Amino acid sequence: MTFLLFIGGLIGLVLGAELLVRGASKLALSFGISPLVVGLTIVAFGTSAPEVAVSVGAVLDGKTDIAIGNVVGSNIFNVLFILGVSALITPLVVNIQLIRQEVPIMIGASLLLLALGLDGKLSFLDGGILFALMIAYTVFLIVQSRNETKGAHDEYAAEVKPAVPGGWDSKLPAQLLLIVVGLACLVIGSEWLVNASVTFAKALGVSDLVIGLTIVAAGTSMPEVATSITAAIKGERDIAVGNVVGSSTFNILGCLGLSGIVSGDLGLAVPVAILNFDIWVMIAVSLACLPVFMTGHEIARWEGGVFLLYYLAYVTYLILATQQHAALGVFSTVMMSFVIPITVITLVVVLIRRGKTPDRPH
């Protein structure tokens, strides 16, 4: 029964996000809002909606470890797993704006989360700061989009198609119904997923935090998985990358911002394990995007493979640490002494070599 509840929660989150994005996008376009603005705001919010629903729901249920673990774990999953799999399907083109603007903003949001959480909790004020920054970031994107080229507008118009005149979703009541049903699915799905995850944690002797960092994080990232992999298969490779980077930023600013506000005077406790390890992994993953993205302005298949292997190594470490397995020490030594240094050296060498050759047109 718990397993069925978990699967039902996942389906509710994915379905709810899809309905919310479709309804909100059609509604916005019906009112003449540009497809680019819809893509940068509503679609970005929509793919992050499961993380918001689960984290806020977890806070209201008093399960703050899941709330924090869900966001940190989702961001790690977004970059390492989703970009890794997408790049294995086809090398991913990286728009220069991502390198110059979006990735640094994602890194800045990650560092800000660390700074705010050093005292062991995210207070109501901290949540307000994060949420205010999310609003400012959204306004900035909207203003910036007015200066985008016609090509950029056409690209997002292809992704977010306006309702066909006379179609069932061209009517205002149908668009509002999609939004309401989507939100309802998100709320119900998040409740089921959190409850089932806690039951799993207790049965397996695994902490809420680890469940949040892995199973819940992967589950709430399903919309990003579907969006990025579909975009990669269709050849819309820069959208595959932009979706991941944008959603990761919204997760920190919007999801944890709102969670901190909802927590009220008690604040949102930040587990010591997150501060000592997982948040540093999230920051390292964000920083790793810069050299990888700059090597020819694309994520090559081998780089996608490295991302995917690192995600598997991260999950393996969490499992070994939870079980206090005898292999944990050897695994950590191999990763810190050999695998990570070799990866860093390889990226530096590739970056230097690419820097000596002219950029290929994209």
Q: What is the CATH number of the domain that holds 348?
A: 1.20.1420.30
* Closest by CA position to 260, among listed 70, 115, 124: 124
Q: 328 lies in a domain? A: yes
Q: 362 lies in a domain? A: no
Count of domains for the chain: 1
Q: 346 lies in a domain? A: yes
pLDDT, one tens digit for every residue, the chain (362 residues): 788 888 888 888 778 777 877 777 777 667 666 655 665 567 667 777 788 888 888 888 888 888 888 899 899 998 889 888 888 888 877 777 677 788 899 999 999 999 999 998 899 999 999 999 999 988 887 777 666 655 555 555 555 555 555 567 777 788 888 888 887 887 788 778 777 877 877 787 777 788 888 878 887 777 777 767 776 776 666 667 777 888 889 899 999 999 999 988 888 888 888 888 889 889 988 888 877 777 657 787 888 888 898 898 888 888 788 777 777 677 677 666 666 666 666 666 666 665 555 454 44
Q: 7 lies in a domain? A: yes
Q: Residue 164, class by beta-carbon neighbours within 10 Å (0-12 exposed, 13-18 middle, 19+ buried)? A: exposed
Name the pTM for this structure: 0.77
Q: 32 lies in a domain? A: yes
Q: 18 lies in a domain? A: yes
Q: 361 lies in a domain? A: no
Q: 95 lies in a domain? A: yes
Q: Which domain holds residue 54?
A: 2-355
List b or e across 316-355, with b for residues whose CB sees 16 or more CB atoms inside 10 angstroms.
ebbebebeeeeebeebeeebeeeeeeebeeebeebeeebe
DSSP code at position 265: G
Characterize the bridge pairing of strands 92-93 and 121-122.
unpaired
